[in-house]
Amino acid sequence: MSFYVTTPIYYVNAAPHLGHAYTTIAADVMARHHRQLGDDVFFLTGTDEHGEPVALAAEAAGVTPRALADKNAERFKALAPLLNVTNDFFIRTSDPEHVKAVQEVLTRVKDNGYVELGVYEGWYCPRCADFKSESEIEDGNRCPIHKIELTWEQEENYFFRLSALQERLEQHYADHPDFVAPGSRYNEALSFIRGGLQDVSLTRGKLTWGVPVPWDESHVFYVWFDALLNYYTALTYARPGEDLTEEFWPPSYHLIGKDILKFHAVFWPALLMAADLPLPEHLYVHGYLLLDGHKMSKSLGNVLDPFEIIDKYGSDALRFYLLRDVSFGQDGSVSAADFEKRYEAELANDFGNLASRTIKMLLRYRDGAVPQVAVDPGLAPDFDGLCERVSALVGRAELTPALEEIWQRVRRLNRYVEENAPWKLAKEEGREADLDRVLATLAEGLRTVTVLLHAYIPQRAEVLLDALGTPDRSIANAHFGAALPTQVKDLDPLFPKQQASEAA
């Protein structure tokens, strides 16, 4: 099986922030889990480098758009390894291979009859690089996302005949009720389509920072159409000398924030239809990370720096917090205080303490040898079907419920320790077999949850699996009782409490 997951590509008009990390981490969890399932995975992320927002930011900084793109693209590239993200390719829309492929696809769209010359006028947000309909304009003639006043723009452009694809889009939504998730976002996109689609500018005649239009080089392609094609174009050159399109297109899952729903759930599938390309299988739309009640945004100046958080807590803590504290798909507030509470209560206490206690008891009572006995049948029902449920949830991008499924078993194992009190069994004559069973059950339970947590907290999971002597990360062997460890070794605290305290 092949699995292709993509993030949106990120604007290079400013440095990355926690919102970018959020989407990328979510995609990485899906990619890692599917690799654990044995699937052939391709994971794409990258940067969106053309268009007016970048040109304006470069002008304000006194540099060329190319110089700004080069600088900030490197910052986005640097974020991925810090997050321990395993993307297979990082695309830049200034890549010459991408530029060439965009020109080829959009020429095909024109040849198929979906492009015509016309004059456009309307209210425009330069930061969104988007014309706004009346229903999208806030009081004071402002952009609902960036809160700036809109400008009235008029220019001659080539238009994409979006209106001609309305019926096909409606039919696709009817035929694929899981095309966009969660359901509220499906309904939002379908409502926009049913409201009547208008033709949209495919090119801009007043800009130079963009992909040149091959049939009229006085124009460049509107940045959104350039960007939306990257998920397709990347496959044509991600591996030198290979074209991966046949193996991986269409994408299995495309993850986006809700602010770009219209472009990805309406414009993108319409564009692919016009180019005779298969549509993505699923789009999953997540909400905003909120700080002080507002969406985190570079333009609003309310961002948390993921680089600083990683320096203080490590990448695993950040990965865990973002998908644990905010239900993926919904809006949710984040804060340093909530981060530390979650770190202390769950990573340090629930999981870290379980790992330390289990291994230390095995070292103390059995010199690190895991008794090779049957696991406790009384605990087995708590793990029945766990792997299947987690895989099904991750497969639908329901990452927070999947993590909760695993965490319920982490807590169950902690209760099991208290219920059986191995330290008391060790002192009672004739209870050696009971102690063996409890220790083996804890070791196997800990291994099971750690394999399932690997996609979320890969660094610490690797350390713990190494201490358990069980390097196999496959989901096939993640079932409780499938691969009892044999020998453990000592382990430093996985999530030291003082780390969070010092960073408070």
pLDDT digits (tens, 9 = 90+) for 135-175: 788 888 898 877 889 988 877 899 999 999 999 999 999 99
pLDDT at 435 (0 to 100): 98
454 part of the active site: no
Q: Is the pLDDT confidence value at 80 over 70?
A: yes
pTM over 0.75: yes
pLDDT at 334 (0 to 100): 86
Tens digits of residue pLDDT in 23-65: 999 999 999 999 999 999 999 999 999 988 888 888 999 999 9
- Burial tier of 223 (Cβ tally within 10 Å: 0-12, 13-18, 19+): buried
pLDDT at 303 (0 to 100): 61
479 part of the active site: no
More confident residue, 338 or 479: 479
The Cα 464–Cα 447 span in angstroms is: 8
Tens digits of residue pLDDT in 105-118: 999 999 999 999 98
| Residue 353, helix vs strand vs coil | helix
128 part of the active site: yes
125 part of the active site: yes
Q: Check residue 142 and report its DSSP letter.
A: B
Q: Is the pLDDT confidence value at 502 over 50?
A: no
Of 34, 98, 110, 125, which is the active-site residue? Answer: 125
Of 219, 298, 387, 454, which is the active-site residue? Answer: 298
Q: Is the pLDDT confidence value at 501 over 60?
A: no
424 part of the active site: no
Mean predicted lDDT score pLDDT of the chain: 92
Q: Is the pLDDT confidence value at 311 over 90?
A: no
- DSSP states of 251-275: PSEEEEEGGGHHIIIIIHHHHHHHT
Tens digits of residue pLDDT in 415-428: 999 999 999 999 99
Give 299's pLDDT tier (boundaries 50, 70, 90).
Answer: low
The Cα 93–Cα 391 span in angstroms is: 33
262 part of the active site: no
User: Contacts by 336-339 with C-beta closer than 8 Å and gap 24+?
Assistant: 336/304, 336/504, 339/309, 339/313
Task: Identify the helix (H) or strand (E) that includes residue 376.
Answer: none
The percentage of residues in the chain with a pLDDT greater than 90, rounded to a whole number, is 77
- Burial tier of 195 (Cβ tally within 10 Å: 0-12, 13-18, 19+): exposed
Task: Identify the helix (H) or strand (E) that includes residue 45.
Answer: strand 40-48
pLDDT at 205 (0 to 100): 84
Tens digits of residue pLDDT in 249-288: 999 999 999 999 999 999 999 999 999 999 999 999 999 8
pLDDT at 147 (0 to 100): 85
Of 33, 34, 146, 219, which is the active-site residue? Answer: 146
Of 33, 34, 128, 258, which is the active-site residue? Answer: 128
Closest CA to 119 of 150, 163, 70, 157: 157
